[in-house]
Structure 1
Amino acid sequence: METLEYQVKINAQPEEIWTVLWSDISYQQWTSAFTKGSFYEGTLEEGSTVKFLDPNNNGMYSLVEKHIPNKEMTFLHLGDIFDGVETPQDWGNATESYFLEETEDETILTVRINTSEEFKDFFEEKFPNALKNVKHLAENQL
């Protein structure tokens, strides 16, 4: 398992960034960096299961391990979804965490991912663009 970390400074309040990250419409916009039409199903309450899907009903499902509004969200990835069918995977401690830290001038969004080697290149290619999308959306909200 390898830990990857991505960070971006955003000129917006944590509440505004949180809304961009997790509201349906803006979630679809920033995650288009991974797959166009991405969305999630389920609630983001601690202990609940969320499905992260593409328009073809493929993706993964995860447990919400931690949810502290406007500060932290952590998912434990449990398995794949292909054609809507969930298949558990033994990914160990494959987590994806989002942290918001407010400073005097801005908010720092940090994403920390524990992943296997097979997914590293995907994250390295896609996550910087996804964070650029979050920054753009948060700084240009109407």
Structure 2
Amino acid sequence: MKKFRFSASIDAPVARVWDTMLAVETYERWTAAFTEGSTYEGSWSKGSRIKFLAPSGDGMIAEIADNRLHEFISIRHIGMISNGVEDTESEAVQSWAPAYENYTFQSTPEGTLLIIDQDITEDSEQYMTDTWAKALTILKKLCEAGV
């Protein structure tokens, strides 16, 4: 597991970037870069359990490790969902869990610097690098358009 950092400078206030990134309607638009039709179920509140899901129902199980409004969110990925079955204990999951995905929102004179720090397995490095670039481009457009 390696730590990767992705970032985007967005010409929009932090509150708008935060809301656009996390509201389910716009979340589904920018995360389409990862999987068309992806969504989440749950809450972004600290301590909450949240599921990140593909249209098939497969996906990831996580907990919100931290949430500081308009500043920082830490997502602790703890398992997988496959064929409707939640798995947080198999050897396959234990080989990478927990894995963190952190979002930092910094106010800048131009708007917001959004920083993503994520633990990524070696076999996913290229995919995540390519796909985060696409996802952040979509998110930037949504935020700057005020969607």
TM-score, length of structure 2 as denominator length: 0.92
Deviation at 1:93, TM superposition (A): 4.1
Contact 1:57–1:83, Cα closer than 8 Å, also in 2: yes
Q: Which residue of 2 aligns with 1:99?
A: 104
Deviation at 1:8, TM superposition (A): 0.5
**Which of 132, 135, 138 is residue 133 of structure 1 equivalent to?**
138
- Percent sequence identity over aligned pairs: 30
Deviation at 1:84, TM superposition (A): 2.2
Distance 1:141 1:4 in 2: 28
Q: Which residue of 2 aligns with 1:78?
A: 78
1:10 equivalenced with 2:10 (yes/no): yes
Distance 2:51 2:71 in 1: 22
Distance 1:94 1:118 in 2: 14
Distance 1:125 1:11 in 2: 22
Deviation at 1:122, TM superposition (A): 2.0
Task: For structure 2, list consecutive stretches of 5 or more residues without a partner in the other structure.
Answer: none
Q: Which residue of 1 aligns with 2:38?
A: 38
**What amino acid is aligned across from residue 42 of structure 1 in structure 2?**
G
Task: For structure 1, list consecutive stretches of 5 or more residues without a partner in the other structure.
Answer: none
- Paired residues in the alignment total 142
Distance 2:28 2:84 in 1: 19
Deviation at 1:94, TM superposition (A): 1.0
Q: CA RMSD in A?
A: 1.1
Distance 2:143 2:39 in 1: 18
**What amino acid is aligned across from residue 118 of structure 1 in structure 2?**
D
Q: Which residue of 2 aligns with 1:52?
A: 52
Q: Which runs of 4+ in 1 moved over 3 A?
A: none
